[in-house]
Structure 1
């Protein structure tokens, strides 16, 4: 399986000629939208879902009730915590229900699901919700209004993964990106890939 990172939180997976697109938001490059056999969306914030560009795709979309209401599209299937389903030949399982808290007085901003694909790649959306099993590649958010470095390091340590990949990083400078190599990789205790947009890795 091939994993390609795009800007911010957007990731594309390819297997057996099929393409699965995850969290294509307003920061995502046009190339991310060029081909998709199915789309997964963790939550309704625009950095994770670009409704206008999604309209140009013919692919089915799997997401939360909040995103589905905003898209109002017959292609959308609502999924929730604990559900397993198939999307373009990929097996997927959803985890959790809450977006991380940004400010205590605002409470939980919206519903958020983590997504485990092929029991191999885990995308938590905007949360540190953990899957209930070991994974090959754990996608670790490394910036954002809700981000906390201690929580991110603990998440990287706790999820039993062979490797980690930094995501949710549009707010970081080159200095910040370099720091995450140390903190999420070395302190997190897992091999870390700081992929640049468009860069791919093969998952064996």
Structure 2
């Protein structure tokens, strides 16, 4: 399986001629939307969900109820999933984890639903949360910036999940200096090999 990182939180997975998109949002490059056999969306914020460009693709979408409400025009192309569910997305085995977006400010409470996805027992995408899967993974995608982000929970998240490597995501707010700093922290304190992929770069998943 091949994983390609795109801007911010979007990744593309390719296997056996199939393409799975995760969190194609408004920051995502046009190339993201050239093809998809299935789409996973973690939550309803526009940096993870581009309603117009997703609607233009002829692909099934798997997501939570909050996102499904925004994609209601797609009808039965959208499947609502929740924590603990397992399903097949165009040949990719997926399991859903969690239900809450990370808190930005305590007085605002939980902003919306958020579901993380474990794909083929190999790649884990948490969306905007540090919800952990219940098993080891090959590649753990670690959010490294955002209004809700804080470094200590990110380090604990990276340490807690047994993985062969970590890849930084949710990084559109960072300058090159910030990207380098987060790479150093995740590499040294996170305890796992860190792969800093720029948009358009790929890594192979055994």
Tell me if both proteins adopt one fold, taking TM over 0.5 as the criterion. yes
CA RMSD in angstroms, aligned pairs only: 0.5
Matched residue, 1:109: 111
Matched residue, 1:155: 157
| Rounded Cα–Cα distance in structure 2 between residues aligned with 1:33 and 1:83 | 26
| Rounded Cα–Cα distance in structure 1 between residues aligned with 2:52 and 2:138 | 33
| Rounded Cα–Cα distance in structure 2 between residues aligned with 1:119 and 1:70 | 29
Q: Deviations over 1:19-40 (max 9, x none)?
A: 0000000000000010100000
Q: Deviations over 1:130-156 (max 9, x none)?
A: 000000000000000000100000000
Question: Following TM superposition, by how much is the alpha carbon of 1:186 offset from its aligned partner in structure 2, in angstroms?
Answer: 1.4
Matched residue, 2:198: 196
Could you state the TM-score of these two structures normalised by the residue count of structure 1? 0.99
Query: Which runs of at least 4 in structure 1 moved beyond 2 Å after TM superposition?
Result: none
The answer to whether 1:19 aligns with 2:19 is yes
| Aligned pairs, number | 204
| Rounded Cα–Cα distance in structure 2 between residues aligned with 1:4 and 1:150 | 27
Could you state the TM-score of these two structures normalised by the residue count of structure 2? 0.98
Q: 1:98 aligns with which of 85, 97, 100?
A: 100
After superposition, where does 1:68-83 map in structure 2 within 5 Å? 68-72=68-72, 73-74=74-75, 75-83=77-85
| Rounded Cα–Cα distance in structure 2 between residues aligned with 1:185 and 1:141 | 14
Question: Following TM superposition, by how much is the alpha carbon of 1:56 offset from its aligned partner in structure 2, in angstroms?
Answer: 1.1
Question: Following TM superposition, by how much is the alpha carbon of 1:88 offset from its aligned partner in structure 2, in angstroms?
Answer: 0.7
Question: Following TM superposition, by how much is the alpha carbon of 1:71 offset from its aligned partner in structure 2, in angstroms?
Answer: 1.0
Matched residue, 1:176: 178
Structure 2: where are the runs of 5+ without partners? none
